[in-house]
Amino acid sequence: MTNNEKTGTGTPSLPGTPGAQPVPPSDPQEIQADIAATRAELGDTVADLAAKADVKARAQQSVETAKDRTVEAASQVGETVRRPGPLAAIGVAALAALAAIGIRKRRAARADSQRWWHKLRRG
């Protein structure tokens, strides 16, 4: 690009400056190498666009990703359950105590109802 594009006069812009265009190569081998590089970039771009447009493959990939995350989370939960902590022991002890209290109350109620003097009160 020149300093004065309208008249075509001026000096070419330096590479790396805003608005700079690459200077075209003059050697035929450089031109062919430039064409090959451009084709490779274009091929990569087309492949990327085709991958984005393939909805079925993207959905399949999403399913696989979700499945992997689910399996990983399940294994972590399994490891946590296998290693019971002190809270689990406290919970089991509390349930056992409640069960024992309930059994004793039930037996006491049944024993009271079977005593002979309770039968006298009923009539």
pLDDT tens digit sequence for 10-24: 444 555 556 667 677
* Domain carrying residue 95: 86-123
In a domain? residue 121: yes
What would the two tokens of residue 40 be?
């490779």
Q: Which residue has the tokens 């009539």?
A: 123
37 within domain boundaries: no
Q: CA–CA separation, 91 vs 85, rounded Å?
A: 10
CA nearest to 1, candidates 30, 27, 22, 26: 22
Tokens of 10: 């001026």
Q: What was the pLDDT predicted at 17?
A: 58
pLDDT at 3: 46
Residue 103 lies in a domain: yes
Does 112 reside within a domain? yes
Q: What does the pLDDT average to over 82-92?
A: 78
**109 located within any domain:** yes
Q: What domain count does the chain have? A: 1
pLDDT in tens, 15-50: 555 666 767 777 889 899 999 999 999 999 998 888
Task: Report if residue 17 sits inside a domain.
Answer: no
Task: Give me Rg for the CA atoms of the chain.
Answer: 41
Q: Which residue has the tokens 């039930």?
A: 106
Answer yes or no: is 110 within a domain: yes
Which residue(s) pair with 9 in the sheet? Answer: 4
